[in-house]
Amino acid sequence: MMRSDPRALQLNEQGQLKHFLTLDGLSKEILTEILDRAESFLSMGEQSVKKVPLLRGKTVVNLFFENSTRTRTTFELAAKRLSADVINLNIATSATSKGESLLDTLQNLQAMQSDMFVVRHQDSGAPHFIAEHCTPNVAIINAGDGRHAHPTQAMLDMLTIRRHKGQFEGLKVAIVGDILHSRVARSELHALKTLGVEEVRLVGPKTLVPAFFRDMGAVICHDLKAGLDDVDVVVMLRLQKERMAGALLPSESEFYRLYGLTEESLAWAKPDAIVMHPGPINRGVEISSEVADGDQAVILDQVTNGIAVRMAVMSMAMSGQVQEQQATGEEG
């Protein structure tokens, strides 16, 4: 489904974000702008009126072909705090499930004068495909596609790291678990390398941590102790059993014995290391309850930061679309 270069597709002629499809190829300046803008939105959660008018009069469609309560809810909250009108399309009961093609659904939604599609799809490249075929004035935000990318999750994790560690330079980060099936791991690797961390380690069994990730700048570790040694940040990933074909794991209990994050294994990291998890958590499979609920866990901070990051991305993409329309109008 992947066609033209998503890096070129998601920026307007002024170099501003107009779609948000992948972090691959985006500059450090754009990623930092997302984080800085998200910081400015964080305080809104403490206000009595949690709204700004940046998307007033705009219609945002949550187009989720794959279930995700947490991601869809935070995108909906983000859009509403930007004063947008929000439509949640139930794909299970939509015409798409009755045989209508993705392009047919897209054209019908465009006919309703929608301004932004937040797309989650089980196929890698679906948001990119939609961005290629939608009308020029519609912004596309990738809310997770197949094994390819989950850029807003990666950016909310970057915001969480920056707020707890202050900077990225000099940090060592371990991402542990099901790397093979994880779009989060791919997006985080791009983000961390772009923002200048010292080292990113991908930790897990050989069946779930392919060697080609070395070509993306990662250090691969198949031993948990070596992977966690002296790291500043530990990101635990969910075992995505629904995506696994064949016997990639002997058993969940064996995985937990070798790669589960417990108080004992967390002690291999730095004493002030933070523990993150994109959710949903499988307690006793990839992480113990003591660690998930412990002082070093910042998992609930990630959820809070997710609303601010999604507000930042949506407002930047809409602004980029408006700038491009104005530039096109002036040229015409």
Full 3-state SS string of 225-294: HHHHCCCCEEEECCCCHHHCCCCCCCCHHHHHHHHCECHHHHCCCCCCCEEECCCCCCECCCECHHHHCC
In this prediction, residue 243 has a pLDDT band, given cuts at 50, 70 and 90, of: very low
In this prediction, residue 146 has a pLDDT band, given cuts at 50, 70 and 90, of: confident
Is 120 known to sit in a ligand binding site? yes
Is residue 247 pLDDT above 70, yes or no?
Answer: no
Is 238 known to sit in a ligand binding site? yes
235 bridge partner residues = 175, 276
Is 163 known to sit in a ligand binding site? no
Q: Do residues 276 and 266 make contact, with C-beta atoms less than 8 angstroms apart?
A: no
Residue 100 CA, chain-centre distance (Å), reads 28
Is residue 153 pLDDT above 90, yes or no?
Answer: yes
97 vs 308: which has the higher pLDDT:
308
Percent of the chain, pLDDT > 70? 90
CA distances from 46 to 141, 153, 185, 279 (A): 26, 22, 31, 24
Give residue 109's pLDDT. Answer: 81
Is 70 known to sit in a ligand binding site? yes
Judged by DSSP in three states, 188 sits in helix
The predicted model gives 19-30 an average pLDDT of 95
- CA end-to-end distance (rounded Å), the chain: 33
| Cis peptide upstream of residue 280 (ω within 30 degrees of 0) | yes
The predicted model gives 159-176 an average pLDDT of 98
Structure-token pair, residue 150: 């989950």
The predicted model gives 38-49 an average pLDDT of 85
| 64 φ/ψ angles, rounded to the nearest 5 degrees | -105, 105
Residue 88 CA, chain-centre distance (Å), reads 19
Is 7 known to sit in a ligand binding site? no
Calpha distance 258→160 (Å, rounded):
27
Is residue 248 pLDDT above 90, yes or no?
Answer: no
Q: Which of 278, 320, 262 is nearest to 143 (CA)?
A: 278
Is residue 250 pLDDT above 70, yes or no?
Answer: no
134 bridge partner residues = none
Is 153 known to sit in a ligand binding site? yes
Structure-token pair, residue 323: 């700038």
Structure-token pair, residue 276: 């993150």
Q: Do residues 44 and 81 make contact, with C-beta atoms less than 8 angstroms apart?
A: yes
CA distances from 117 to 85, 104, 237, 283, 304 (A): 12, 15, 27, 33, 22
Domains of the chain: 6-150+304-331 (3.40.50.1370), 151-303 (3.40.50.1370)
Is residue 98 pLDDT above 80, yes or no?
Answer: no
Is 32 known to sit in a ligand binding site? no
Percent of the chain, pLDDT > 90? 65
Pairing mode, strands 59-64 and 116-121? parallel
| 59 φ/ψ angles, rounded to the nearest 5 degrees | -115, 125
